[in-house]
Amino acid sequence: METKSGVKVLITESDLIDYAGMWLKADEDNSLKAIFPGVALKEEKKNDRDVVVSEYADYIAVTKGARSFPWRILALAETDADLITNQLSFLLGEKNVIEDPSWIKPGKVSWDWWNAMNLYGVDFKSGVNTESYKYYIDFASEYGIEYIILDEGWYELGDLMMLTPNINMEEILSYAKQKDVGVILWVIWKTLWDQWDVAFDQFEKWGIKGIKVDFMQRDDQWMVNYYEKVAQECAERKLLVDFHGAYKPAGLRSKYPNVITREGLRGLEQNKWCDLEVPKHDVTLPFIRMVAGPMDYTPGAMVNAQEDNFKAIWNRPMSQGTRCHQLAMYVVYESPLQMLADSPSNYYGEPECMEFLSVVPTVWDTTVVISAKIADNIVVARKNGDEWYIGAMTDAAKDLTFDFSFLDDGNYNIQFYRDGINADNYASDFVMGKSTVTKADKMDIHLATGGGWAARIWKE
Q: 345 and 382: one domain?
A: no
Give 413-449 pLDDT, tens digit per residue.
Answer: 999 999 999 999 999 999 999 999 999 999 999 999 9
* CA trace torsion 305, 311, 316, 319 (10° rounding): 40
Q: Is the pLDDT of residue 412 over 80?
A: yes
Contacts of 179 (CB under 8 A, 6+ apart): 137, 138, 140, 141
- Indicate if 159 belongs to the active site: no
- The residue annotated as part of the active site, out of 269, 350, 376, 429, is 269
Q: Where are the beta strands (DSSP E) in 124-255?
A: 147-150, 182-188, 210-214, 240-243
**H helices, E strands: number in the chain:** 13, 23
- CA dist 176 and 188 (Å) reads 23
The residue type of 35 is: I
- CA dist 218 and 40 (Å) reads 10
- Please check whether residue 36 lies inside any domain of the structure: yes
Q: 136 and 123: one domain?
A: yes
- CA dist 145 and 182 (Å) reads 9
Q: 267 and 247: one domain?
A: yes
Per-residue pLDDT band at 109 (split at 50, 70, 90): very high
% pLDDT > 90, the chain: 97
For the chain, how many structural domains are there in total? 3
Q: 415 and 334: one domain?
A: no
Task: Please check whether residue 451 is in contact with residue 321, taking contact to mean a CB–CB distance below 8 angstroms.
Answer: yes
Task: Please check whether residue 80 is in contact with residue 370, taking contact to mean a CB–CB distance below 8 angstroms.
Answer: no
Boundary of a domain, candidates 42, 65, 91 = 91
Task: Write the DSSP symbol of residue 227.
Answer: H
- Please check whether residue 239 lies inside any domain of the structure: yes
* CA trace torsion 447, 451, 456, 460 (10° rounding): -20
- The residue annotated as part of the active site, out of 13, 15, 80, 214, is 214
Helix (H, G, I), strand (E, B) or coil at 42: strand
* Exposure of 235 in the CB half-sphere (CA atoms within 13 A): 21
Give 119-145 pLDDT, tens digit per residue.
Answer: 999 999 999 999 999 999 999 999 999
- Please check whether residue 96 lies inside any domain of the structure: no
Task: Write the DSSP symbol of residue 155.
Answer: B
How many Å separate Cα 369 from the centre of its chain? 20
Domain limits at 382? 368-459
Task: Please check whether residue 439 is in contact with residue 409, taking contact to mean a CB–CB distance below 8 angstroms.
Answer: yes
Q: What is the largest CA-CA distance in the chain?
A: 65
Q: 161 and 280: one domain?
A: yes
- Please check whether residue 1 lies inside any domain of the structure: no
Strands 337-340, 319-320: pairing is unpaired
What pLDDT, on the 0 to 100 scale, is given for residue 276?
77
- Please check whether residue 189 lies inside any domain of the structure: yes
Per-residue pLDDT band at 28 (split at 50, 70, 90): confident
Q: 106 and 74: one domain?
A: no
- Please check whether residue 3 lies inside any domain of the structure: no
Q: Using only the alpha carbons of the chain, give its radius of gyration.
A: 22
How confident is the model over 394-409, as a mean pLDDT? Answer: 97
Residue closest to 342 by CA, chosen among 329, 391, 309, 448? 329
Count the neighbouring beta carbons within 10 Å of the beta carbon of residue 66.
5
Per-residue pLDDT band at 65 (split at 50, 70, 90): confident
- CA dist 266 and 269 (Å) reads 8
Q: 122 and 83: one domain?
A: no
Q: 374 and 356: one domain?
A: no
Task: Please check whether residue 304 is in contact with residue 428, taking contact to mean a CB–CB distance below 8 angstroms.
Answer: yes
Q: 315 and 373: one domain?
A: no
- Please check whether residue 2 lies inside any domain of the structure: no
What integer best gives the mean pLDDT of the chain? 97
Q: 150 and 53: one domain?
A: no
Q: 183 and 293: one domain?
A: yes
Looking up residue 351, the CATH number of its domain turns out to be 3.20.20.70
The residue type of 97 is: V
- Please measure the distance between the N-terminal and C-terminal CA atoms of the chain and give it in whole angstroms: 44
* CA trace torsion 27, 32, 33, 37 (10° rounding): 110
Helix (H, G, I), strand (E, B) or coil at 140: helix
- If you write DSSP's letter for every residue of 362-405 in order, what string do you get? SS-SEEEEEEEETTTEEEEEEEETTEEEEEEEESS-EEEEEE-T
What residues pair up with 382 in beta bridges, in sequence order? 367, 389
Count the neighbouring beta carbons within 10 Å of the beta carbon of residue 362.
21
Boundary of a domain, candidates 334, 363, 392 = 363
Task: Write the DSSP symbol of residue 376.
Answer: T
Give 283-302 pLDDT, tens digit per residue.
Answer: 999 999 999 999 999 999 99
Looking up residue 439, the CATH number of its domain turns out to be 2.60.40.1180
The residue type of 404 is: F
Q: Is the pLDDT of residue 277 over 80?
A: no
Boundary of a domain, candidates 363, 384, 417 = 363
Q: 429 and 378: one domain?
A: yes
- CA dist 60 and 37 (Å) reads 6
Residue closest to 437 by CA, chosen among 381, 360, 379, 365? 381
Per-residue pLDDT band at 22 (split at 50, 70, 90): very high
How confident is the model over 2-16, as a mean pLDDT? Answer: 95
Helix (H, G, I), strand (E, B) or coil at 111: strand
Task: Indicate left, alpha or beta for 218 from its phi (over 0: left) and psi (-120 to 50: alpha).
Answer: beta
Give 361-392 pLDDT, tens digit per residue.
Answer: 999 999 999 999 999 999 999 999 999 999 99
- Indicate if 194 belongs to the active site: no
